Amino acid sequence: MSKKPLLLLLFILLSSTNFGQNNSRIDSLLTAYNQHKEDTLKLRTINNLINYYMYRNTPEVKPYAEEMLSLARKLKNVKGESLALYQLGVYHYTIFETDSASNYYNQSLQLALKDEDVPRISSNYRGLSIIEFSQGNLSAADSINDLDLANSIKYEDSIGIALAYDFKGTINQNKGYYDIALANVQQGLKYFEALKDSVRIADCYNHLATLENNLGNTRKAIDYNLIALEVYQRENDVFYEAQALNDIGVMFKVLKDYEQSLEYLNKAITISEQAKANEVLISALTTVGEVYDEQGQPQQAIPYFEKAIRLAESLNSKRKIALAQNKMAEAYLAMRQPSQAMQLAEASLAYSVPNNTISFQKVSQRVKSQAYEQLGNYAKALEHHKNFKVLSDSIMNTETSDNIENLRAQFDLEKKEARLALQEQEIIALDAQAESDQLAKLLYGLGLAAAVIIGLLVIFGLRQRMRKNKIEREKQEAILRQEIEFKKKELASQTLHLVQKSTFIQELKENLEKIKASPELFKIEFRRLILLLKKERAEDKDWEVFKSYFSEVHNNFDDKIRKINDTITEKELRLASFLRMHLSTKEIASMLNVLPDSVLKSKYRLKQKLNLDKDTDLTEFLNTL
């Protein structure tokens, strides 16, 4: 199936509220909008109006987004300003103005990073990643999406994790790694199902349908699309309802069930015309033309191709224009009109050659070969047939290479899964050992009780056993002391490493602050810095390693704190651990990537949660645990 960049836009909608799809809701929103004063409540209402109109009546979005931006700046509300810039990015991407969209996303991202606004950081990463994807830069899209995934995992943002996995599936699908893409989307679906997010569950089913179709499981793909279609209809999400209807029509065409195909495609055309979903409309019109051509009715196909081309030209969608031109050229060949077919094939080549779209070139060369054959120019027909064969061989070689890469990537994924499975087995074994130890202790206690009853008859034996136990215990204690000393060294090393890493990130942020003053320098350096930051943080387990050593050296420190107050957060545990390590406020600020004042405030809040009075020193208290 063809790529659908607009379908990806739903991934970047991380707004706080999922509204009902009825007139009473929009009426109540407009009433609230007109009644609110210029305050944060009005900011939220405007944002909700933007979310409502984004895919129902897109032109309504821009004035609301600009008003939201102006109001947020007037109120000096940084989060509101970042959100307004982000919504302007979504709007401009929706109307195919990717440069403007990228500019707004970057502005929003800078504010979000400065304000540590985790959801907005993720949504902007996602928006920038989707722009790279829509422009065919799959590696760049994957790199930015990995930043989003790492950010979401770090802050335990379940919906962000789900969206990142789902989009990773779309990227791998377009790379041709269908099995891996399937695993990515299924991972995202698990999160969405846990969150009970019906619309995004429907999106995942749409993506699974595309993947199953690419894997040759078209019937299963249709079942997935029907599940998604039901959700979109229930939610009155007309844009994606049209998309789902179009996808089902395409799949029935693959099965050569043309009657069913036309039924769904015509519904898609009707709804997409009403919703002004022009991207979907172009795809549906082109596919209807293909259905008629495959049924031997090329005359009926031509008007659909012509309408699709005109609409694609109005959107400057060159890829869709070239696709429809090739399809219409094949219809003219079937009508024995080689000159028209030749002209359309040449027009398609004008797009596909500079863009190295080999699959389009292949069809154009085959059309030209057959057109020259109908004209009786067999030398030219042979020349273009040779071109067609060269391109076919090129595609076969590319597919072979892609299959090898797919196998490699799948092998890596299986190795990771095997490691996880092994870890799970080790955990089970440790649990079993713990149960065995408890049973042994119980039996030992019973043995002592029996020994008391038996009395003097076994005292000598008990004394002998106690001597042996003492010797064994002393050996174990010596070993444990060695292990603790080793882990203390490792803990100190990990602490130093975390300080160095935090220093690196701080320096990187300072460099970003320097270059943001120059827009030209920012554009040049932004991606390099992002990739450098990604490389520094890729597969980073430093905190987990530190936490593991710290817990063992300091005797389950985390559990002791949580027994005092079970609402202690992960960030507060980190702060407590660093204080126990006698790190200074400046060092802690560097490691947590915050200002020293913020550390002092966090220490005060932690002290309150631990129920400590003013005279009790927090660090001294933590050292007693």
Q: What is the pLDDT of residues 69-80, one digit of tens each?
A: 999 999 999 999
Residue pair 550/520 in contact by the 8 Å Cβ criterion: no
Residues contacting 83, CB < 8 A, separation 6+: 47, 68, 72, 108, 120
Distance CA 227, CA 204 (A): 10
Distance CA 525, CA 531 (A): 10
* Tens-digit pLDDT profile for residues 294-334: 999 999 999 999 999 999 888 888 888 999 999 999 999 99
DSSP designation for 556: S
How high is the pLDDT of residue 178? 74
Whose CA is closest to 87, among 35, 52, 118, 114? Answer: 52
Whose CA is closest to 381, among 368, 363, 391? Answer: 368
Distance CA 580, CA 559 (A): 14
How high is the pLDDT of residue 3? 35
How high is the pLDDT of residue 7? 38
How high is the pLDDT of residue 620? 86
Whose CA is closest to 452, among 466, 464, 443, 462? Answer: 462
Copy the structure tokens of residue 159: 């919906």
Residue pair 244/225 in contact by the 8 Å Cβ criterion: yes
How high is the pLDDT of residue 133? 79
Report how far apart the first and last C-alpha atoms of the chain are (Å, whole number): 61
Residue pair 121/102 in contact by the 8 Å Cβ criterion: no
Where are the alpha helices (H) located in 196-337, listed in sequence order?
198-214, 218-234, 238-254, 258-275, 278-294, 298-314, 318-334
* Tens-digit pLDDT profile for residues 449-504: 555 565 556 566 566 666 666 666 666 666 566 555 545 545 554 554 555 566 55
Residue ranges of E strands in 211-294: none
DSSP designation for 3: -
- Under-70 pLDDT residues of the chain: 1-24, 55, 394-555
Distance of CA 400 to the CA centre of its chain: 28
Distance CA 164, CA 142 (A): 10
pTM of this prediction exceeds 0.95: no
How high is the pLDDT of residue 539? 39
How high is the pLDDT of residue 13? 39
Copy the structure tokens of residue 55: 């895919």
How high is the pLDDT of residue 359? 77
Distance CA 278, CA 463 (A): 90
Could you give the C-alpha distances from 348 to 211, 298, 330, in angstroms and in order?
27, 19, 12
Distance CA 289, CA 20 (A): 36
* Tens-digit pLDDT profile for residues 46-92: 988 888 888 677 888 899 999 999 999 999 999 999 999 999 999 88
